[in-house]
């Protein structure tokens, strides 16, 4: 187990965590951005399985949120406003008339205080940030800690902790784009996804939840027995077409699942499983990924990666019956998502 620290552009620091199986994870203190995750394939070729810029300087403008910690609220907030206890709060309009991923002062664009650590079986880095009361329009002074831990079992554990001195809206996620083919060898069309979810959230033309939860049965959103992402990309189902052919939807995860999501790339043999205590996940298949970005493994194009944004639902701010994003004053926020990597021969 080892950790290396490297100074990079803009006085940012890059922390590279490596375990005894030569799996490595690289994290910037800027935005808490995961720039690389290198894991072996069935032939023991170690390759990068997330999208990242060739130059770290390009993360300064990161409209696709590559690899970043997203908050205070991950996702879209309708009308860039919400109400808590009859008090209205106005946020930045940064996607039409709505608010996306915390706005310009979101957590993806701040330098976090970083502390690397190492134990006998783990190596990691703890990131801390204090968001002032009123920052971005959100109430409450919020102290946030995100810890990335790499284990010798090829697990990347992401722990989110926070506490606010006022009731506020908050749900954090990581916005890594995964591509298990390795070094962007292929698009994600043939990635096979299994997900324990009976319902997903319907979107309107502005990609805002309508307030309806739809059953996955007999739709391209039914991943309970597994299917390829291409099924949704090529589908004529209205909700797939609505998001520019693919997925950008919140799936409500079935409770008490040991493994919420399993992703497999048949050619490389790589498998990624996801466990979380979050109530749901946005699966985004990079339908709107900016094309022509200079990434570490080539120029970007649509469907180069898939995000699994484990989180609560911003729809809860305007509709009943959704997993809430409200964090009560002085009540600790404590969430975890575990990404595990393995190989099928």
Catalytic residue numbers read 175, 309
Phi, psi for residue 119 in degrees, rounded to 5:
-125, -175
Which of 154, 155, 131, 152 is CA-nearest to residue 141?
Answer: 131
Is the CB of residue 304 less than 8 Å from the CB of residue 281? no
Computed over its alpha carbons, how large is the radius of gyration of the chain?
19
Please tell me the distance from the alpha carbon of residue 272 to that of residue 154, in angstroms, as a whole number: 10
CA 30 to chain centre: 16
Is the CB of residue 58 less than 8 Å from the CB of residue 42? no
Tokens of 33: 């951005």
Tokens of 313: 């639902």
Please tell me the distance from the alpha carbon of residue 26 to that of residue 73, in angstroms, as a whole number: 24
Is the CB of residue 138 less than 8 Å from the CB of residue 168? yes
Tokens of 262: 């399993």
């Amino acid at each position: 187990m080892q950790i290396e620290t490297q100074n990079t552009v803009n006085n940012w620091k890059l922390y590279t965590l490596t375990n005894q199986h030569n799996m490595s994870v690289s994290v910037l203190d800027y935005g808490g951005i995961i720039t690389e995750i290198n894991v072996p394939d069935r032939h023991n070729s170690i390759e990068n399985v997330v999208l990242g810029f060739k130059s770290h300087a390009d993360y300064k403008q990161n409209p696709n949120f590559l690899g970043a910690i997203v908050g205070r609220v991950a996702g879209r907030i309708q009308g860039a406003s919400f109400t808590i206890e009859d008090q209205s709060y106005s946020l930045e309009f940064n996607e039409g008339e709505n608010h996306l991923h915390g706005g310009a002062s979101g957590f993806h664009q701040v330098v976090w205080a970083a502390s690397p650590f190492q134990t006998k079986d783990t190596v990691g880095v703890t990131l801390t940030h204090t968001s002032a009361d009123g920052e971005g329009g959100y109430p409450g002074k919020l102290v946030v800690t995100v810890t990335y831990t790499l284990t010798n079992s090829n697990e990347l554990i992401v722990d989110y902790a926070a506490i606010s001195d006022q009731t506020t809206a908050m749900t954090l996620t990581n916005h890594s784009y995964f591509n298990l083919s390795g070094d962007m060898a292929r698009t994600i069309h043939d990635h096979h996804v299994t997900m324990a979810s009976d319902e997903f959230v319907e979107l309107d033309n502005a990609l805002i939840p309508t307030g309806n939860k739809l059953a996955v049965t007999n739709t391209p959103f039914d991943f309970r027995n597994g299917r390829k992402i291409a099924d949704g990309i090529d589908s004529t189902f209205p909700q797939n077409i609505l998001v520019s052919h693919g997925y950008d939807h919140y799936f409500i995860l079935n409770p008490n699942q040991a493994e919420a999501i399993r992703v497999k790339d048949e050619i490389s043999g790589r498998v990624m499983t996801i466990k979380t205590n979050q109530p749901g996940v946005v699966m985004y298949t990079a339908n709107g990924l900016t094309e022509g970005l200079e990434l570490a493994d080539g120029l970007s194009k649509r469907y180069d990666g898939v995000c699994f944004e484990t989180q609560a639902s911003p729809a809860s701010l305007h509709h009943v019956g959704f997993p809430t994003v409200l964090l009560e004053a002085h009540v600790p926020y404590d969430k975890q998502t575990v990404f595990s990597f393995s190989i099928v021969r």
